[in-house]
A = this chain, B = another copy of it.
Amino acid sequence: MSLTRIHNFSISLDGFGTGEPQSADAPFGHAGERLHEWMFRTRYWDPTGSAGLDDAFAQRHSSGIGAEIMGANKFGPPGWQEDQDWKGWWGPNPPFHTPTFVLTHHPRPSIEMEGGTTFHFLDAAPIDALRAAREAADGQDVRIGGGATVIRDFLADGLVDHMHLVQVPIVLGRGVRIWDGLEDVQESYDVEAVSSPSGVTHITFTRRVSS
């Protein structure tokens, strides 16, 4: 069975998945790298990093994943749709290594990158994007890569099987919130929280299976 999964998605205490304003110089706006420092200190990111709890969570990001879906705001800064040469933030060999579907109202031809990543551009509802990604994933799982708006949309449509959030102890005050419009979303999930010695708290949502 192919699952829809979210991994390593970091939020502030007040639930923002990014700050503002987002730009080419500041992909996460005034949040800077503060939401992701926990990850940079893990072995998953840095071979000299920690192999503890944060790493155990981070390492699951890619295992068993056959495709990713991301939002337009993850693929590039505001206005990237006007730049026909824009190929994402990640250089010639992006860290996805699978078919990667970018949701945008301005689709363009697919781009094949090094290392197994091919960017496809779709103007589609979550369920239709998921159908395309699942077919491309060839029996493996599909990761919803963010940002916050896309995660919210997939949660609202009941399409997420497994979600791993990382709550960072900062108050951002502004940006894009993950929780808006999701009242009682926890009712379909077993929710578990575990605080790490690093200061972050890992929160997992595991979809309940009806018997």
Contact = CB atoms under 8 A, between A and B. Distances in A.
A151 to B, nearest CB: 13
Chain A facing B: main interface SS: loop
Interface stretch (A102-110, A122-130, A141-149, A191-199): A191-199
Contacts of A17: none
A185 B14 CA distance: 11
Nearest to A194: B195
Interface residues on A, range: 20 to 34
Report how many copies the assembly holds: 2
Contacts of A201: 193, 195, 201
A201 B191 CA distance: 12
Contacts of A195: 193-195, 201
A184 B173 contact: yes
A203 interface: yes
Given A15-B14, A203-B13, A173 B169 contact: no
Interface stretch (A41-49, A57-65, A93-101, A174-182): A174-182
A169 B181 CA distance: 16
Contacts of A185: 171
A186 interface: yes
12 contacts: A14-B177, A169-B191, A169-B193, A170-B186, A171-B179, A171-B183, A171-B185, A173-B179, A173-B183, A174-B183, A195-B195, A201-B201
Interface of A: 13-15, 167, 169-174, 177, 179-186, 191-195, 199-201, 203
